[in-house]
Structure 1
Amino acid sequence: MFADDTTITVCGKNLEELQENIAIVMDEFSSWCQCNRLILNENKTVITNFTLLRRLPGTYFDSKLTFSDHIHYVCQSLNKAFYAILQLKDVLDESGIVSVYYALAHSHMSYNIMAWGNAKDKDRVFIAQKRLVRLMYNIKPGNTCRPIFKSKQILTFPCIYILKCVLYVKRNPSWFNTLGQFHQYNTRNGRLLSIDNHTTNSFKQSPNYNCTVIYNNLPNFLRDIDKYEHFKHKVKSYLADNVFYSVKEFLEKSD
């Protein structure tokens, strides 16, 4: 006689605790099988690990998509960059320090930023970035970093996010509809992207929605550029010159 497949769920706060709990449960279940004259087929017994936190290439995803764990990881990376630059400041010239910044800090801030760059804890990353810039250019506490961001053409964390969003739209125009597609007249707003009707806050957190809103708020002279590389260069210069400290600040700037 064969019994149906049986599933046992075991929980643990960490891997070590989970392994201990599995061993205990398996002993108890084996004893139960013996008492009930059942034979446990160990060759067909499989342990499957499920977790609420998953790191896909370079990015930590949690069950509620808060990205708090990933932001913590990025902040740790920026802190490591801080101490690396602290050790190298007296050895390298400015161009060398900037190269270290882009290798150890900018790369972590920009990677897959469209997924997590608008998360609740995003400001932690920007604070860590400004701490780095203060170290690189000897900016005293209490003094603003804006002039340095502009003069050195270093994009703020919000500007990195904005740049990635608009480049995503420009690379994938067929994935978005423009207002001009819905009527035959050539109007000033014909190049604006249409926004799907929505009723939930979760929709407003989606990358596609944010990309659409951000792209629509670019100045007309930037949206009118067709060639991708030229568009990328001009948008990057525009963001570096304006030094936006938040997406809200960018959206509120008039054309």
Structure 2
Amino acid sequence: LYADDTTLFAKGRDLTTVAEKVHKNILCLKEWLGKNKLILNENKTKNMAFSICREGEQGDPAVFLGITLDSQLSWKAHIDSLSNRLSQIVYLLRKLSDEVPLEVLRITYFALFHARMSYGIELWGSSPHAFVIFKVQKSAVKTMLKKKLHESGRPLFQKLMIMTLPSLYIYKLALRQKGNKDAVTRGNQHQYNIRSKENIYLPATRLKKTEILPDVASVRIFNKIPVTIRRLEIKTFE
């Protein structure tokens, strides 16, 4: 029996405090595993310290559920890895473009390229490094339509009915918030009949890193959608 990707999380104001918490948690975990006749594979155990401070200690990236995490959550390592994989798919599309009709190419795009690109986009889509993936996506679209790289990509996306990476990021976050049944509207916060009473309540944030977190960014995006659209059933909203 294998139980993969088990996670322990601890937070604190300094690395020493966090390390002490993690050590205690691991001891408790080992005790629980022992009682349940399970073994912790320490060779595959990865410790990471996350910090928004640029001068903080930077360890090696780690892959968790298909997402490459770095200590500062810049997503650069994940985007670099994803870019390489998507470039290979573009090469495949180029090879197929002379053998199969456009509709088959489009199906292949969604099955391979889109599926990989959209995975976890809510996390890394706001990264300044995401433009690398957008460039690869534009290359994929131009390859399918046999267009030159310098040609404008906007009409090509429209022709193929494919969302651009920025549009897909916004769409995914809007869907995330639409499916959040625990969301609290401003109208639930007080009895006043204000214009924005149907807006989702958004806690104040101090840091730029916090503003782009999915839980925060999804609310900001959802609140900008017209109320009539927000009220739609989830299937129609999609």
Which aligned pairs between 1:198-213 and structure 2 lie closer than 5 A?
A: 198-213=205-220
Say if 1:139 and 1:145, in contact at 8 Å, map to a contact too. no
Q: In the alignment, what sits opposite 2:226?
A: 219
Specify whether residues 189 and 85 from structure 1 end up closer, same or farther in structure 2 by C-alpha distance, changes over 3 A only.
same
User: 2:68 aligned with 1:92, yes or no?
Assistant: no
SS across alignment from 2:150:
coil
User: 2:86 aligned with 1:78, yes or no?
Assistant: yes
Q: Which residue type is aligned with residue 235 of structure 2?
A: E
Could you tell me how far 1:194 is from its partner in structure 2?
A: 1.8
When Rg is computed on C-alpha atoms for both structures, the one with the higher figure is: 1
Could you tell me how far 1:177 is from its partner in structure 2?
A: 1.8
Could you tell me how far 1:74 is from its partner in structure 2?
A: 1.3
Tell me the alpha carbon deviations over residues 156-203 of structure 1, each in whole angstroms, 9 at most, x when there is no partner: 1011111111111111131x2211112335544222112111212221
Q: In the alignment, what sits opposite 1:109?
A: 117
| Greater length-normalized contact order (CA 8 Å, ≥ 6 residues apart) | 1
Could you tell me how far 1:115 is from its partner in structure 2?
A: 1.2
Could you tell me how far 1:228 is from its partner in structure 2?
A: 0.6
In 1, the alpha carbon distance for the partners of 2:207 and 2:230 equals 28
Which aligned pairs between 1:49-198 and structure 2 lie closer than 5 A?
A: 50=47, 52-174=60-182, 176-198=183-205
User: 2:221 aligned with 1:229, yes or no?
Assistant: no
Q: Which residue type is aligned with residue 64 of structure 2?
A: L
Say if 2:70 and 2:77, in contact at 8 Å, map to a contact too. yes
Q: In the alignment, what sits opposite 2:55?
A: none
Tell me the alpha carbon deviations over residues 127-171 of structure 1, each in whole angstroms, 9 at most, x when there is no partner: 110011111112233321111212321011011111111111111
Q: Which residue type is aligned with residue 167 of structure 1?
A: L
In 2, the alpha carbon distance for the partners of 1:154 and 1:117 equals 17
Could you tell me how far 1:49 is from its partner in structure 2?
A: 6.1
In 2, the alpha carbon distance for the partners of 1:203 and 1:215 equals 17
In 2, the alpha carbon distance for the partners of 1:138 and 1:65 equals 36
In 1, the alpha carbon distance for the partners of 2:118 and 2:149 equals 26
Q: Percent identity?
A: 28
User: Normalising by structure 1, what TM-score?
Assistant: 0.68
SS across alignment from 1:122:
helix
User: Normalising by structure 2, what TM-score?
Assistant: 0.72
Say if 1:126 and 1:157, in contact at 8 Å, map to a contact too. yes
In 2, the alpha carbon distance for the partners of 1:186 and 1:92 equals 58
Specify whether residues 155 and 186 from structure 1 end up closer, same or farther in structure 2 by C-alpha distance, changes over 3 A only.
same
CA-atom RMSD in angstroms: 1.9
In 2, the alpha carbon distance for the partners of 1:172 and 1:131 equals 35
